[in-house]
Amino acid sequence: MSHSERRLVILGVAASDSHAVANHLIAHALRGLGFEVENLGTCTPVEEFAQACEQHPDAEAVIIGSLNGHIHEDLRDLPAAREAGRITCPVIVGGNLSVGSKKDPRDLERLQSLGVDRILQDPAQLLPALDELRASRTADRQRLPVAS
């Protein structure tokens, strides 16, 4: 993979969550597919994701896992970080995204209203989602008007 084809993602686990196993498995799988992974580990606040995005402006996505079900509270600062232009790439979340066994479809809408681009139910959806987001961003860049 040449430098121009380099695919970098920022990975971490939501601020209140210390579940590390899935995080390490996803990082390992993505590296095996040729991705560079900036893994921020567990208990990562939005501020740390924003700092990582500023250090890696070419990152193609921020991937946030959560298993404890408190992702909504953990991402309360995401709208401000996005609005300030500190997180400009797509944000993908996955895991157990609400407390309790009964899932409310409004939980997914709440995540989208916070600025989440993709919500994954299964880790197998991650690579297709990354490829699709990358293709749509490339298409958007090709549609930009060219100054003559």
Read off the pLDDT of residues 69-124 as tens digits, 9 standing for 90 and up: 899 999 999 999 999 999 999 999 999 887 776 667 788 899 999 999 999 988 89
Query: According to the model, what pLDDT value does residue 72 have?
Result: 92
Question: Are the beta carbons of 89 and 62 closer than 8 angstroms?
Answer: yes
Cα–Cα distances in angstroms (integers) from residue 106 to residues 15, 64, 95, 115, in the given order? 22, 19, 16, 14
Higher-confidence residue of 138 and 144: namely 138
Q: Which residues of 112-136 are buried (b: 16+ CB within 10 A; e: fewer)?
A: eebbbbbbbeeeeebeebbeebeee
Type of residue at 13: V
The pTM (predicted TM-score) of the whole model is 0.90
Active site residues: 17, 19
**Residue labelled with tokens 């992702």:** 71
